[in-house]
Homo-oligomer: A and B are copies of this chain.
Amino acid sequence: MKQIGSNPRTHLIPEASLRRLPIYYRSLQEMKVAGVSQVSCADLARVLGLDPTQVRKDIEMTGIVGKPRVGYLLGELVLWIENFLGWNRPKEAVLVGAGSLGSALLGYEKFRSHGMQIVAAFDIDPEKIGQRIHGREVQPLMFLPDFVRQRKTPVGVIATPAAAAQPVTDLMVAGGIRAIWNFAPAHIQVPEGVILQNEDLYHSLASLSFKLETKMPVTPAENGNSYAEDN
């Protein structure tokens, strides 16, 4: 019997697989509501129009052990995914940039059940400072390093204009932030060991615009095309 709670695969976790788990997770939640109690990778693949082998590989990554001919207990699989991703252990986050996007992000309550909780918002604009947005008061940016240091906040979310992204990053890093989720359209540099996740809409726009224009084939990508409904 394999170790429970630890991952069976010592090798390497494909980023693309990580990003597919939420898709399965969501389908499972829906099935649960519909009263389903057991599920196989084949079921998931069918519902989502994905390749069954790929689904199985991704699910195995979580370390869950299934039953041949049956699949997995739905509730258990949900728990394994949550545990594997760390979604059952939300990390605190600070957000910088209380503009329209930042405000929208502050309103996503579901983040908490998906591994992250934004506990404070910062901005440099005196107009914004002191405002309450979705229950959090916007603080002066200069307070950020101390806040992060004292509270040991692991995550920083950047929703500033491009020009502010690098300076804000540096502040976060100085405070000991371990991961940065960057929504600013800027290429920022972080020291080795700091996790950086870019959410640059212009990257997507490049892909979308290109595909719309051309008849040139583009290789399918993790967050690109889904499959046609053909079954």
Contacts and interface: CB of A to CB of B under 8 A. Distances in A.
Interface of A: 7, 12-16, 18-23, 26-27, 48-49, 84-87, 89, 91, 99-101, 103-104, 107-108, 110-111, 114-116, 154-155, 162, 178-179, 181, 185-193, 195-214, 216-230
Give the number of times this chain occurs in the complex, counting copies.
Answer: 2
Contacts of A107: 100
Given A12-B217, A212-B195, A200 B223 contact: yes
A11 to B, nearest CB: 8
B12 A206 contact: no
A159 to B, nearest CB: 9
A197 B204 contact: yes
Contacts of A190: 226, 228-229
Given A23-B187, A86-B209, A216 B155 contact: no
A18 B195 contact: no
Contact of A114 (B181, B202, B214): B202
Contacts of A16: 221
Contacts of A27: 187
A195 B211 CA distance: 8
Contacts of A203: 19-20, 22-23, 223
B21 A206 contact: yes
B14 A219 contact: yes
Contacts of A219: 12-15
Given A91-B212, A212-B91, A202 B100 contact: no
A19 B91 contact: no
